[in-house]
Chain A
Amino acid sequence: MSSSIGIKSVDRIYTDAEGAKVEALHDVDLDIKAGEFISIIGPSGCGKTTLLRLIAGLDKAQSGELSIDDEPIKDVDPERGYVFQQGSLFPWLTVEDNIAYGLKARKVYKKNKANIGKYISMVGLEGFERSYPHQISGGMAQRVAIARALINEPKALLLDEPMGALDSFTRADLQDKLLELWKDNATTMILVTHDIDEAIYLSDRIVIMTPRPGKISKIIDVDLPRPRHRGGVEFLAMRKHILEFFQLAQALPQPEYSI
């Protein structure tokens, strides 16, 4: 049900409007095991979304190799599901029809029609089947987007800051949902995020990327038992460790307690 993904010395260079070359990804190497939950974090412009788009097949690398189960990645494939940051639902389709889109597009709708209800309840959207995207909240829309990707039974799910636009309560809720879905579907998960807590809470490994040029600077194993406690000592130690890496932890000359 899940796939391993191999990334070998991948370069991606963009040319901007003035003709200047921008190295979005420089010599990126990463091996993702089947069934692993991986988070990619880093500041804006570090190439994390570019990397995810390359894995999805939405973009092409100038050099290097990308493979899934040792097969080279050439184009997009429903086996690699993708959840965009926000607003990727089709506004003219109801929740139900958005989720059914992949089945219809792959012409397996009749056979798998019964699954729609299953995935709707999996993401907890019973009663909203006939609602249009503008009638539901942002958190619900992202759950629809996740269900829409999962109904194709992908072997890997690529998530591009799917919770970036949500408030922290909705986000925590959706993170738990995501873990549940990961356990139930045994899918390889690759999550791009800029939220350190989210990365620690969810993933097996955290890939830290830095910009100019975009490259992988560090990979951290998160060997905390699940379910993880967001306020736990080890959790906070790991958080501090990552913050120190970004040199954010030192930048606290004055305590912030002001009355």
Chain B
Amino acid sequence: MNGESAVKLTKPVTGRSPESSAAEKPKVGWNYRNNTYFLLKILLSVSGFIGAIIINVVFPQKAEIDIKTYTLSAFGYNLDLTMNEAYIFIVAVLILIYAGAGVRAFFDRTRRKLYSKNAAFRFAIGIALALWDIGGTKLQTFPQPFFPGPAQVIEAYLADGDYIVQNTLYSLRLYAAGFSSGVLLGVGTGILIGWFPKVYYWVYPVLKITGVVPAVAWMPFALTLLPNSFTAAVFLIVICAWFQIAFLTAQGIQSTPKQSYEAARILGGNQLNLIFHVAIPHAMPDIFTGITSANAMAFTTLVMSEMLGQPGGLGYYINQSKVWSAYYKVLAAIVIMAVLFSLINYLIGLIQKRTLRWQKGVVKK
């Protein structure tokens, strides 16, 4: 917080930062351009995590947890780790990453600003980890077994690593198959509805009415009528993406200004040209709005269908772990989902940015 409020200070404020070097170097204010200031920001970034490690090492373990040792093998080396060591190891890796990023930013003015801005938040993450460690593992003041500490969540990866990877890949495969076909069908139908009045007349009302039904409502039919549970889940994701995207694509096509078509026709464009080089590019922003909102629904549909009738997947893993009250595994799967789905969102965002770079506000001069 003080990172932002300290920017633009021309003379040091008494009592605010008495040992500030700004007094000696009047040219550089007490902000991210100042080397000492920036080094303090790096320190702030990592000190939370260092605190988390210190807490973990010195805080007496009150709760009884049996400590198992797991052997990790990679590149011919065997590494014996307890869950607690794994936790310390991961926090240490975070410290290295943030310290490394800090050093890199030190020599890069544009990175410095962002790094300084986020320092307080990184500190808070470290403190939160420490508190979680105390409440979940050390004292177990949080209700157990529902809220295990960070070390136990990491234990899930140590104990169940391969199995989690398998389930993650299963989810990913399901999502990729379902969502990509949903996008293709959605964009295709949307173009037909938007372009041909006849298709609009017959298909649009159907789409409008069936579109409001949550995809999982069709699950009983999907599970009985389709050959296997995988295709059933794909089907559910397809319809949840399909209707939403078709709806918005049609809207985008129909809102193309008449003048754009006229301009294209006069320049020599035929019908195909008008569809592919005028209507579809014009509908692109709407298509992406459809894809982003359908994506969120696809995640829901994916996890729900996995929980209700799949032989694998992260949803299935959560359900299975719940039966054994292994809530630390549930949390582990949730962490994976958070990371995975954010990554997918990020990728879609990248494609969107690239495709819509012609839009005002997207491109910076």
- Interface residues on chain A, size class: 20 to 34
Is A105 touching B273 in the complex (CB atoms < 8 A)?
Answer: yes
Is A58 touching B266 in the complex (CB atoms < 8 A)?
Answer: yes
Is A101 touching B358 in the complex (CB atoms < 8 A)?
Answer: no
Contact residues, A79-124 vs B (CB, 8 A): 80-82, 84, 87-88, 90-94, 101-102, 104-106
Determine how close the nearest CB of chain B comes to the CB of A127; give it in whole angstroms: 13
Is A58 touching B268 in the complex (CB atoms < 8 A)?
Answer: no
Select the residue from B268, B270, B278, B365 with max chain A CB neighbours within 10 A: B268
Is B358 touching A93 in the complex (CB atoms < 8 A)?
Answer: yes
Known contacts A101-B277, A105-B268; is-contact A135 B259 (Cβ 8 Å)? no
Determine how close the nearest CB of chain A comes to the CB of B353; give it in whole angstroms: 14
Q: Is the interface of B mostly helix, strand, loop or mixed?
A: helix
Residues of A contacting B278 in the complex (Cβ-Cβ under 8 angstroms): 90
Residues of B contacting A91 in the complex (Cβ-Cβ under 8 angstroms): 358-359
Residues of A contacting B270 in the complex (Cβ-Cβ under 8 angstroms): 105
B74 within 8 A of A: no
Q: Closest residue to A134 on the B side, CB-wise?
A: B360
Residues of B contacting A132 in the complex (Cβ-Cβ under 8 angstroms): 357-358, 363
Is A92 touching B360 in the complex (CB atoms < 8 A)?
Answer: no
Residues of B contacting A135 in the complex (Cβ-Cβ under 8 angstroms): 363, 365
A146 within 8 A of B: no
Is B267 touching A105 in the complex (CB atoms < 8 A)?
Answer: yes
Is A90 touching B260 in the complex (CB atoms < 8 A)?
Answer: yes
Is B259 touching A56 in the complex (CB atoms < 8 A)?
Answer: no
Select the residue from B266, B281, B284 with max chain A CB neighbours within 10 A: B266
Q: Closest residue to B265 on the A side, CB-wise?
A: A76
B122 within 8 A of A: no
Contact residues, B252-290 vs A (CB, 8 A): 257, 259-260, 262-270, 273, 277-278, 281-282, 284
A132 to B365, CA, bound (A): 10
Residues of A contacting B260 in the complex (Cβ-Cβ under 8 angstroms): 88, 90
Known contacts A92-B281, A92-B284, A134-B360; is-contact A102 B267 (Cβ 8 Å)? yes
Is A149 touching B358 in the complex (CB atoms < 8 A)?
Answer: no
Residues of A contacting B363 in the complex (Cβ-Cβ under 8 angstroms): 132, 135
14 of the cross-chain contacts (CB-CB < 8 Å) are A76-B265, A76-B266, A87-B257, A87-B259, A88-B260, A90-B263, A90-B264, A90-B281, A91-B358, A91-B359, A102-B268, A104-B277, A105-B273, A134-B360
**What is the interface of chain A, defined by CB distance below 8 A to chain B?**
56, 58, 76-78, 80-82, 84, 87-88, 90-94, 101-102, 104-106, 132-135, 148-149, 152
